[in-house]
Amino acid sequence: MNKTIRFDVDSDGIATLMIDVPGQSMNVIGAQFLTDLSEAIDRLASEDAIKGAVIASGKSSGFMAGMDLKAMETMLLPPKGQALDMPTLFERVFVLNSILRRLETCGKPVACAIEGICVGGGFELALACHYRVVGDSAKTQLGLPEILIGLFPGGGGSQRFPRIAGVQTALMYMLQGKLFRPAEGAALKLIDAVVPSGSALDTAKAWVRDNPTANTQPWDRKDYRFPGGVGSMNPAFAQTFMGAVPMMLKQTQRNMHAPVALLSAVYEGAQLPMDRAIRIESKYFAKVLADPQARNMVRSLFVNKQAAERGARRPKDIAPAPTTKLAMLGAGMMGAGIATVAAQAGIEVMLLDRDMAAAEKGKAHASDVLSKRLGKGMTPEKMAETLSRITPVTDVADLAGCDFVIEAVFEDPAIKAEITHRVEAVLSADVIFGSNTSTLPITGLAKAWSKPDNFIGIHFFSPVEKMPLVEIILGKKTGAQAIAKALDFVAQIKKTPIVVNDSHGFYTSRCFITYVQEGTEMLAEGVNPALIENVGKQLGMPVGPLAVSDEVSIELGYKIMSAAKKELGDAYVASRADDVMEKMVVELGRLGRKNGKGFYDYPEGGQKSLWPGLADAFPHAALQPAPAHVRERLLYRQLVECARCYAEGVLTAPQDGDIGAIFGWGFAPYTGGPFSHMDTIGLAQVVETLDRLTRQYGDRFAPTAQMREMAEARTTFYAPDTATKAA
């Protein structure tokens, strides 16, 4: 009868609830599981022969992850087009809470045997048991990470965690979605026993056998005391919440709704008896769920990201093509970074540069990166093994036997063509060749490889070791073999790929630069630079636009602009941002962070601060724009460029656009990405705003014809019924 839980009773009268959700590699909470768990609790409560129960997983992958996020929307929300009815949503959300409450009050002791991953809803299930034992292994991860995808623990976790560990500790973990290991869980008192891997089930059974009356949670006992104190008159409790809001704002500005809801659920719930506390939690959870923000975040940050990593864009009929030996051309910052991550993934790397010193320097970079991780999961042995995979070379002939090439030499088409030819002479054009150019069109570069179908763009972000995204660029002739090879490599190094078509700056560089340009444009207009920078950060961008300009160097921007001017001649569209760069570089000698002087000053050992001279160089206008208007410009300038990429076919799927924006240039993650955000605002509204901004500031804000058609037809970038399906 039970499809997701196997229910067995042993000769001692101890029931084992073995969770094994069919069709899933990891146990997740879906509708069937809720039904099955409910029935199991009924049996547990009603059959006198059953003395107690142990909950465990039948899967080797771990105990349980959280909600089935792919099914969550259909499970809880009404079909598209139907109005959202809050009381109904609450009732649906409350099902899990009421089942878990029945579990902890069923009158029989229930132990939870955890092996491997136990996070989110899985951990909330564990918290509703009377005893938790964990098998200690490197795979074991515990905790409540819901906040990272725009949700919060809504299965009683926000109530039980504080009641066990105190509000301050609980908030620290839940607000950051911080996971922990078994020993840490035990120190937090969330885990009752840590035992050798594989023995959790036996320990749990023994506990039930030995504790036949341990059927009551601490918070249901008369002598219960809330750890650390509770109530608005308790100074520690009050102080915790007073501090929690600014700490949360530091991370999220005022952009995310789930952390505020979590704080309220804990603040209000902690002061109530458990039966009422879980209702409060479910009410806040329903509010968060009803908000498109959570759904957008879940879709981009979890569902579609995972789909991309599992090969959503990979040609299906090509056999797996993992790289075993990589030819890495160029041992500069990017080349060295790529060599490092490849070696870590077990790939042999021939790291080529013009002279041995340069090639060795690239390998030394790998050594630096790895040594910083010593003690944090890295051992000297593992490090030596990884480094042994990187061979610095200077002779192209040494590349023989490589099955994939990545080129990361100087951004000059002639230099790139020359090395491409030389490599082909050694490896033949049957090998797949990837170029890590950040702007040069792939179709042009591919001409240097005699089989352009085997040529592809593979754009990494700096620093490679940290940045999660790889932008795969298809030239006009790039073939399926090349796509499969590049995507398989990205999977090997455990990064997230997007696939885009060729264009100047491709997708990420082209759109990201608009943020910097618009900020610079405002500076030229006399907008207070502090306002520009703060609003940029408050919009959810990692840093302000002028700070970005300093980081990549104003001089570089100026050079690119000058080259474009020369190249395009009369066709070049001048902007006031150009004048700012020229003034900074030519007149003021402020080149950016690299010479310690840019839009900011960089005092040694001190915090950077905006250069006071900016007020003279670019006098403040008497009338300053409202922050909301600055925000609108910084946001919509990016949105319209993203939409252009979609209209021009640079992007073929909104999924790539959203993932690329968030993981490539840190575009406001709470939106779920620019396309999710435009869908949420509604295209009609987006077009109206862009039209207004176009009238005020010019054609760089002009919406595409496609956007107008979409607005007219009331359509969205994401097809409505595939909202949470994989790309």
Partner 1 sequence: MEAYIYDAVRSPRGKGKKDGALHDITPIDLTTQVLRGIRDRTGIDTADVDDVILGCVTPVGEQGADIARVAVLNADYAQTTAGVQINRFCASGLEAVNIAAAKVISGEADFAIGGGVESMSRIPMASDGGAWATDPAVAYHVYFAPQGIGADLIATKFGFSRNDVDAYAVESQRRAKIAWDEGRFARSVLPIRDVIGEVVLDHDEHMRPEADMQSLGSLKPSFQAMGEEMPGFDTVALLRYPEVERINHVHHAGNSSGIVDGAAAVLVGSKAMGEKYGLKPRARIRAMGSIGSEPMIMLTGPESIAQKLLKRAGMTKDDIDLWELNEAFASVILRYMQALDLDHKDVNINGGAIAMGHPLGATGAMVLGTALDELERSGKGTALINLCVGAGMGTGTIIERL
Residue 695 CB partners (closer than 8 Å, separation 6+): none
Q: Does 543 bind partner 1 (CB under 8 A)?
A: no
149, 204 Cβ separation under 8 angstroms: no
Residue of 88, 534, 680, 716 that binds partner 1 (CB under 8 A): 534
Residue of 137, 176, 253, 716 that binds partner 1 (CB under 8 A): 253
Q: Does 11 bind partner 1 (CB under 8 A)?
A: no
195 versus 547: smaller Cβ distance to partner 1: 547
Read off the amino acid at residue 349.
V
**Min CB(541)–partner 1 separation in Å:** 13
Q: Does 249 bind partner 1 (CB under 8 A)?
A: yes
Residues 272-301 that bind partner 1 (CB under 8 A): none
Q: Does 530 bind partner 1 (CB under 8 A)?
A: yes
Torsion of CA 309, 145, 717, 489, to 10 degrees: -10
Q: Does 523 bind partner 1 (CB under 8 A)?
A: no
237 versus 558: smaller Cβ distance to partner 1: 237
**Min CB(333)–partner 1 separation in Å:** 31
Contacts 24+ apart (CB under 8 A), 668-671: 668/255, 668/539, 668/540, 668/541, 668/635, 669/297, 669/301, 669/540, 670/150, 670/252, 670/255, 670/256, 670/293, 670/297, 670/540, 671/293, 671/296, 671/540
**Token duo for residue 345:** 């993934």
Residue of 198, 243, 603, 649 that binds partner 1 (CB under 8 A): 243
E-strand stretches of 527-594: none
Residue of 11, 60, 213, 232 that binds partner 1 (CB under 8 A): 232
**Min CB(87)–partner 1 separation in Å:** 21
Q: Does 538 bind partner 1 (CB under 8 A)?
A: yes
* Length reported for the chain: 727
Provide the mask over 622-651, with x wherever binding to partner 1 is found by CB under 8 A and - wherever it is not: --x--x--x---------------------
DSSP string, 155-167: TTHHHHHHHHH-H
262 versus 308: smaller Cβ distance to partner 1: 262
Q: Does 238 bind partner 1 (CB under 8 A)?
A: yes
Provide the mask over 601-620, with x wherever binding to partner 1 is found by CB under 8 A and - wherever it is not: --------xx----------
Spatial distance between the Cα atoms of 619 and 629, rounded to a whole number of angstroms = 19
β-strand partners of 497: 470
Q: Does 242 bind partner 1 (CB under 8 A)?
A: yes
**Min CB(576)–partner 1 separation in Å:** 21
Residue of 318, 378, 429, 531 that binds partner 1 (CB under 8 A): 531
**Token duo for residue 51:** 């003395």
Residue of 7, 219, 241, 697 that binds partner 1 (CB under 8 A): 241
**Token duo for residue 104:** 């902890």
β-strand partners of 427: none
**DSSP 3-state of 268:** helix
Report which DSSP code applies to 291: S
**DSSP 3-state of 429:** coil
447 versus 631: smaller Cβ distance to partner 1: 631
**Min CB(531)–partner 1 separation in Å:** 5
Q: How many CB atoms lie within 10 A of CB 408?
A: 27
Residue of 140, 141, 168, 264 that binds partner 1 (CB under 8 A): 264
**Min CB(242)–partner 1 separation in Å:** 5
How many residues sit in the footprint of partner 1 (CB under 8 A)?
A: 33
**DSSP 3-state of 245:** helix
β-strand partners of 64: 118
103, 159 Cβ separation under 8 angstroms: no
**Min CB(480)–partner 1 separation in Å:** 49
For the chain, the C-alpha Rg in angstroms (whole number) is 28
Q: Does 571 bind partner 1 (CB under 8 A)?
A: no
Spatial distance between the Cα atoms of 16 and 204, rounded to a whole number of angstroms = 10
Residue of 346, 332, 353, 536 whose CA lies nearest to 438 = 332
Spatial distance between the Cα atoms of 573 and 296, rounded to a whole number of angstroms = 36
Choices 181-189, 249-257, 670-678, 702-710 (CB under 8 A): range interacting with partner 1: 249-257
Q: Does 267 bind partner 1 (CB under 8 A)?
A: yes
242 versus 414: smaller Cβ distance to partner 1: 242
**DSSP 3-state of 378:** strand
Residue whose token pair is 């490679």: 464
441 versus 669: smaller Cβ distance to partner 1: 669
254 versus 276: smaller Cβ distance to partner 1: 254
Q: How many CA atoms lie within 13 A of 222 on its CB side?
A: 0
87 versus 612: smaller Cβ distance to partner 1: 612
Choices 13-21, 208-216, 260-268, 556-564 (CB under 8 A): range interacting with partner 1: 260-268
70 versus 283: smaller Cβ distance to partner 1: 283
- What residues line the site for partner 1 (CB under 8 A)? 232-233, 235, 237-238, 241-247, 249-250, 253-254, 260, 263-264, 267, 528-531, 533-535, 538, 609-610, 624, 627, 630
